[in-house]
Structure 1
């Protein structure tokens, strides 16, 4: 006898006020950490909780396209940092004048300072040739993987762990360093470590790089450009 469909359902009760506040606090105080990492290693059980949170992310067609490469070896992280430095110098010269000076003043030391890094990848073949929900938008697998990154990031905030997303590198350098197959897409290099302080606002806003846009300017009603 097959179980009743009702047996697969649970009540969708709203969270208690305290639980709801904790969720919003994690969202509002999450920061991209670049230089505030403490050298203390992350316990294995804590890292497993963070990876478990990432693995609970939604994914199109339930394809779960992500993989997580955990990197603790200082020698490997040092090679990754050298790849970052090469790309970072290339990036710096793309800005001019005061913008370049401000860019060079930003401390981007997560790869060396954080005790562990996680390279998050997306396997486009995980769900087979035809994936439910990806039939008309082939990038849905990557979007799903980014959801896993956000899950990990919010769980890390709740655990007092800082996360920094490094995106300044040549794909080929990291692919060669970690032995990632050509068909697999590199989505994120994340630096993780305990922190005892976080910026009260996003660091780039506090340092004058860019300010948060007003939400009311970004929400439309019914069609593009129509104010709500």
Structure 2
């Protein structure tokens, strides 16, 4: 793991050196990782490059996950089953959590169940659990507006998932919310995996390192 100090002298928070989105795409092999939030770093992240040298095991698993999506190009982009589609979406967050841990404090990892979030809020229903909301509250977005703030139960999340959200928020607050550190952001991504498993096809869960919406490194202070 490449952990670093996220805090500048005087207690100020350092901007991340990069924001990375885990998103499946055709023909990208073991690096379905994309720069976000910067006009200088754009496009595909090289998962084997210096500074982003992910472990061989994680790169293998990222490639296997992306290959599942890649294979749809020969099937008119139809998933073999709803279960296969849902598992792929949940696995996106689990892999993103591992990416976050390996890249460490200086990188923020985003995930939208393996899909794109460039037009967030997107046209279909989205569920976000920002780190700085209280209790089990989550945000429901529809189109380009925040539709409402719901309890986890009202959003269709299980009791265990609701408890996981509360626990993650408490740890993030201690580490310095809303972004916390690499460990709390990784936990947030694993919590998002639980959320995605609960909501299934009804919504896309989006995890933005604890934030409510997209941001740039310059927004972090």
With the shorter chain as reference, the TM-score category is: under 0.3
Q: Quick check: which has more Rg, 1 or 2? A: 1
What is the TM-score when the length of structure 2 is the normalising length?
A: 0.27
TM-score where L is the length of structure 1: 0.27
Between Structure 1 and Structure 2, the one with more helix by share is 1
